[in-house]
Amino acid sequence: MSGGTGTAPDVAAEAARRRTFAVISHPDAGKSTLTEALALHAAAIEQAGAVHGKSGRRGVRSDWMDMERARGISITSSVLRFEYGEVLLNLLDTPGHADFSEDTYRVLAAVDGAIMLLDSARGLEAQTLKLFDVCRHRGIPVITFVNKWDRPGREPLELLDEVEQRIGLRPAPLNWPVGVAGDFRGLIERDGGAFTRFRRTPGGATRAIAEHVPAEQAAEEEGEAWSTAVEELALLDEIGAALDPDAFAAGTATPVLFGAALPNFGVSALLDTVCRLAPAPSARVDDTGTERPVAAPFAGQVFKVQAGMDRAHRDRLAFVRVCSGRFERGMSLTHARTGRPLATKYAQTVFGRDRSTLDAAYPGDVIGLPNAAGLTVGDTLYVRTPVVFPPIPAFAPEHFMVARATDNSRAKQFRRGIDQLDGEGVVQVLRSDLRGDQAPVLAAVGPLQFDVVTARMAEEFGAPVELTRLDYSTARVTDKESAETLSGRRGVEVLTRSLDGALIAVFVDKWRLRALEREHPGITLTRMLAAGVAD
């Protein structure tokens, strides 16, 4: 079993019982609350928390940064690993805010499926549309959960129509609400017609009490709400709104469930659906276009690097998605980019901020490697059979700041902190001979990323920074010859990206970019991946 292979049947069987998926949504749709509710229903935790902070409730496990708890939003992705029946779930919570969509994209590179939350009142929003587009681009099947049905909202048929008309996914409801949004009576299962009524527990901190009611009794007790639901279900049957498993796997259809994450209504049904329908890990394509089977020798890809999770040790954790083979703690891996060996004696499994020793892992699992020097987002690790997985691209930044230490005596800590945040992908760090190492340019998708930089530089590295805004808004990758052409031009600057040495041309606006492209038609200015959408 050593050497990262195991026996093929063992690896294949272990991979088949895993579900690695992300929870994604527009901000404030209840994503982190649902993440906690899923863990609660799988008995991975005893009490749920909520970012909106009901009295006596803790913060959610997946939101562990001080800024996340203070602002009530997810700033960084996190991993929750737990078992539910015979299935092992690797649940990746993601930042909902558009400013952190690059982190969400990295997570989507590491999962096999996704749960998309829709707010029952707001339906599809800008960030929701972008995330659906990313999932389509990456071929990730999506299960839709219409959340907050215990609050006033829109008609369920209207929400389904919006999903189909605006994003081209054919919705297939698996259950149906009895009672309009804000007057939630319970859920009817489309397969069999069973009716479940829910009763909330104090603060929603524990699982809701579910009461299974015969249809005849429900019709008598729920009256018009029941009749309306039955009529709507009949309409769905008429139009053929049934789930086609092949269309779901191809990313053209989405199972839809209704519920409310905060009081834990309908969460068990969602959990059962993930276990039943979400795809298990399968062969992954390497950078040559060749599929690497799950039973091949061990290989994995770094999709996230995070520091500051353990204040006692202040270490740096690389998150590795296992793509093939069996991982065993202590095995020596090869770092594909450098060819150097990497020890894994201290490999860990992660549950939010909490960590524990991990002895073995299989395709779909996430390994935490502490203080793995030199690992960056997108790196491939393997044993025996060499492989390189396609890189995880950086997004095109739209906001730029010059960073300077407020205390020159902390210059060493300043440089270390900036390099650390660069390696994690918190921001892209750009440098130039003109500005020097003491004034790097920080490039970000959204301005909230700079708030993270300011807070972490002060708290973790003891090197408070002063940020000065630059009037650039557009970036392109260029080459040395083109950089010479651009040198000295008004409204443009060429900088070097620290992480990979790429030359990045930044422009004051897209009109200046287009003017230079017209003046120099042969110039190299390559588009980068736009925030949340494939260019």
Report d(CA 370, CA 408) in Å as an integer: 30
Confidence (pLDDT) at 395: 82
User: Which segments of the chain have a pLDDT < 70?
Assistant: 1-6, 8, 45-77, 96-97, 308-314, 530-535
SS (H, E, C) 88-136: EEEEEECCCCHHHHHHHHHHHCCCCEEEEEEECCCECCHHHHHHHHHHH
pLDDT per position as a tens digit, 270-285:
999 999 999 999 999 9
Q: Is residue 39 a part of any domain in this protein? A: yes
Claim to verify: residue 253 and residue 314 sit in the same structural domain = no
Which amino acid appears at position 483 of this protein? A
What are the phi and psi torsion angles at 97 (to 5°)?
-70, 140
Claim to verify: residue 319 and residue 226 sit in the same structural domain = no
- For the chain, what is the domain count? 3
Which CATH number is 342's domain given? 2.40.30.10
Confidence (pLDDT) at 310: 59
Confidence (pLDDT) at 61: 45
Confidence (pLDDT) at 6: 64
- Neighbour-count burial for 486-499, b at 16+ CB within 10 Å, e otherwise: beebeebbbbbbbb
Q: Is residue 341 a part of any domain in this protein? A: yes
Residue at a domain's end among 255, 277, 299? 277
Which amino acid appears at position 26 of this protein? H
What are the tokens at 529?
């991946």
Claim to verify: residue 223 and residue 319 sit in the same structural domain = no
Provide the 8-state DSSP code for 200.
P
Task: Give yes or no for a contact between 73 and 344, defined as CB atoms under 8 angstroms apart.
Answer: no
Q: Is 255 annotated as a binding residue?
A: no
Q: Is residue 389 a part of any domain in this protein? A: no
| SS3 category, 79 | strand
Task: Give yes or no for a contact between 75 and 98, defined as CB atoms under 8 angstroms apart.
Answer: no
Instruction: Give bridge partners of residue 304 from the DSSP assignment.
Output: 319
Confidence (pLDDT) at 25: 86
Claim to verify: residue 189 and residue 60 sit in the same structural domain = yes
Confidence (pLDDT) at 78: 76
Q: What is the span of the domain harbouring residue 510? A: 399-519
Claim to verify: residue 431 and residue 330 sit in the same structural domain = no
Claim to verify: residue 56 and residue 153 sit in the same structural domain = yes
Provide the 8-state DSSP code for 263.
T
Which CATH number is 31's domain given? 3.40.50.300
Choose among 35, 48, 90, 56: nearest CA to 207: 48
Q: Is 212 annotated as a binding residue?
A: no
Report d(CA 327, CA 184) in Å as an integer: 46
Report pTM.
0.85
Confidence (pLDDT) at 53: 36
Residue at a domain's end among 277, 301, 328? 277
Claim to verify: residue 118 and residue 243 sit in the same structural domain = yes
What are the tokens at 525?
């200015």
Residue at a domain's end among 277, 302, 326? 277
Task: Give yes or no for a contact between 297 and 324, defined as CB atoms under 8 angstroms apart.
Answer: yes
Claim to verify: residue 175 and residue 203 sit in the same structural domain = yes
Which amino acid appears at position 33 of this protein? T
Claim to verify: residue 263 and residue 319 sit in the same structural domain = no
What are the phi and psi torsion angles at 109 (to 5°)?
-75, -10
Q: Is residue 74 a part of any domain in this protein? A: yes
Claim to verify: residue 361 and residue 414 sit in the same structural domain = no
**Radius of gyration in angstroms for the set of CA atoms belonging to the chain, rounded to a whole number:** 24
Residue with tokens 């995070």: 306
Which CATH number is 499's domain given? 3.30.70.3280
Report d(CA 192, CA 216) in Å as an integer: 14
Q: Is residue 187 a part of any domain in this protein? A: yes
Q: Is residue 14 a part of any domain in this protein? A: no
pLDDT per position as a tens digit, 147-168:
999 999 999 999 999 999 999 9
Report d(CA 38, CA 203) in Å as an integer: 16
First to last CA, the chain: 43
Q: To the nearest 10°, report the CA torsion of 119, 120, 125, 127.
A: 20
Q: Is residue 53 a part of any domain in this protein? A: yes
Claim to verify: residue 253 and residue 331 sit in the same structural domain = no
Claim to verify: residue 262 and residue 228 sit in the same structural domain = yes
Cα separation values, 356 from 22, 315, 348, 437, Å: 21, 14, 5, 38
Q: Is 93 annotated as a binding residue?
A: yes
Task: Give yes or no for a contact between 41 and 267, defined as CB atoms under 8 angstroms apart.
Answer: yes
The helix, strand and coil proportions of the chain, stated in percent and rounded to the nearest 5, come to 30, 30, 45
Q: Is residue 535 a part of any domain in this protein? A: no
Provide the 8-state DSSP code for 395.
B
Report d(CA 109, CA 228) in Å as an integer: 41
